[in-house]
């Protein structure tokens, strides 16, 4: 739940006034809340700000969601994330919107992006501010409620359109594409496995310990020492078949618009980890992080068809053939080789994303700590949580039933 802040640092107050100036608001009043009901967030530097003021004699209210860290150490830790999200909003999104205009993409294939009203990568002033989405009718889906086909298909269509726009950018605007791709030259999370917290391995092991299939369990245990290397390889570009990827597409970063109780539109937020890699990294991440065993058993093949059909339709709108751009046999090959990213990420995160929000925030922070004993003590009561165990086994069973590879990416050549 959001918590209303009674006082703010002067730097943050100055930021609010700067944003008010962008809206051309005068004589403002504001209310600041830590957290936001727009997003069930594990992110510690997130604020919802309601600004009221006057513009042209009219009383106006604007809601803005601001990412900003008051703590200098956290600013340093998240610095590359701010830079990456800045690049997405200032370089990539405008080009994607231009493509949709230039090729007169039909309404059903267009995608929306958050309106980033202000962004800064100045040292110790890193900020991302977007216009609140709730006022436009979007809201998030409770991560404790099962994700049905209607919701999941909207997300898969969104990812397909996003990836298609990346392919289109590469094929139709090669110079601009290269300029933007160079800004994604290294992955924010896994470009250097030696700098990734070893506590990821603790959470991975905790999930592996509740796997019920003994063969799968032994294979996952054997992989344990290599998971950071595998994640690193999965996030490297694949010759000819990479796209710009969201890289953190799961329930908490997806908002929906509804007509009655039926979801009719979706939008993704939080592009701080965006990368240039196989599009399957986005697909496997979303499906393994956001859906359960029942969904994977009943809809996995169907949801992949939704993705591929939408990708083909979007490419066709821009005079490109999916059979040349991302052939089905390559798609299947990537599913076999790169779904391991979604598997590992889900095993690392599952204890966190199945925990109550307060516990989840604590665990998310503990990932970056060095003290394994305190982590084990804090999380011991989650080890046998029924939802945690069920979700872990649903993901693992799907992966091994599909005969996907745990480590083939370690032998792949990349550019």
How is the chain split into domains, by residue range?
Answer: 3-67, 79-113+138-411
The pLDDT of residue 413: 55
Q: Is the dihedral of CA 280, 80, 197, 352 positive or negative?
A: negative
Q: What is the pTM of this model?
A: 0.94
What is the mean predicted confidence (pLDDT) over 123-148?
Answer: 93
Q: Where are the alpha helices (DSSP H) in 292-385?
A: 293-317, 322-325, 328-353, 357-366, 372-379
Residue that is written with structure tokens 């090959």 in the block: 333
Q: How is 206-230 classified by DSSP, letter by letter?
A: HHHTT---HHHHHHHHHHGGGHHHH
Which residues, at least 6 apart from 114, have a Cβ–Cβ distance to it below 8 Å?
89, 130, 131, 133, 267, 269
Query: 312-336 pLDDT, tens per residue?
Result: 999 999 999 999 999 999 999 999 9
Query: 378-412 pLDDT, tens per residue?
Result: 555 556 689 999 999 999 999 999 999 999 999 87
Query: 144-201 pLDDT, tens per residue?
Result: 899 999 999 999 999 999 999 999 999 999 999 999 999 999 999 999 988 777 789 9
296 or 72, higher pLDDT: 296
Average pLDDT, the chain: 91
CATH of 79-113+138-411, one of 3.10.20, 3.40.50, 1.10.10, 3.90.1200: 3.90.1200
The answer to whether 226 touches 410, Cβ cutoff 8 Å, is: yes
């Amino acid at each position: 739940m959001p918590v209303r802040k009674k006082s703010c640092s002067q730097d943050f107050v100055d930021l609010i006034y700067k944003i008010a100036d962008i809206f051309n608001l005068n004589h403002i009043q504001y209310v600041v809340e830590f957290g936001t009901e727009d997003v069930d967030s594990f992110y510690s530097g997130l604020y919802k700000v309601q600004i009221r003021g006057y513009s042209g004699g009219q009383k106006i209210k604007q809601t803005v969601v601001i990412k900003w860290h008051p703590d200098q150490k956290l600013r340093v830790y998240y610095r590359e994330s701010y830079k990456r999200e800045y690049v997405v909003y200032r370089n990539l999104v405008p080009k994607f919107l231009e493509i949709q205009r230039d090729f007169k993409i039909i309404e059903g294939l267009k995608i929306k992006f958050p309106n980033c009203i202000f962004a800064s990568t100045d040292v110790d002033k890193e900020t991302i501010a977007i216009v609140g989405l709730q006022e436009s009718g979007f809201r998030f889906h409770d991560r404790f409620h099962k994700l049905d086909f209607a919701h999941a298909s909207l997300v898969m269509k969104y990812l397909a359109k996003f990836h298609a726009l990346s392919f289109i950018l590469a094929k139709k605007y090669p110079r601009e594409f290269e300029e933007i791709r160079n800004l994604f030259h290294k992955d924010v999370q896994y470009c250097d496995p030696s700098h990734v917290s070893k506590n990821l391995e603790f959470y991975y092991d905790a999930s592996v310990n509740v796997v019920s299939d003994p063969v799968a369990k032994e294979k996952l245990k054997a992989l344990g020492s290599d998971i950071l290397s595998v994640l690193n390889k999965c996030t490297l570009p694949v010759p000819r078949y990479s796209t710009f990827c969201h890289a953190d597409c799961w329930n908490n970063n997806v908002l929906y618009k509804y007509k009655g109780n039926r979801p009719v539109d979706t939008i993704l937020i939080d592009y701080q980890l965006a990368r240039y890699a196989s599009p399957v990294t986005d697909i496997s991440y979303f499906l393994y992080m956001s859906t359960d065993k029942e969904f994977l058993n009943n809809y996995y093949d169907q949801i992949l068809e939704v993705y591929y059909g939408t990708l083909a339709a979007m490419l066709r709108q821009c005079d490109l053939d999916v059979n040349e751009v991302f052939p089905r046999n390559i798609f299947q090959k990537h599913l076999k080789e790169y779904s391991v990213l979604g598997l590992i990420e889900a095993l690392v995160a599952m204890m966190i994303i199945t925990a109550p929000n307060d516990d989840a925030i604590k665990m998310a922070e503990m990932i970056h700590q060095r003290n394994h004993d305190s982590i084990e003590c804090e999380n011991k009561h989650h080890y046998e949580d029924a939802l945690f165990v069920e979700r872990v086994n649903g993901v693992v069973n799907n992966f091994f039933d599909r005969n996907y590879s745990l480590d083939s990416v370690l032998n792949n050549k990349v550019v």
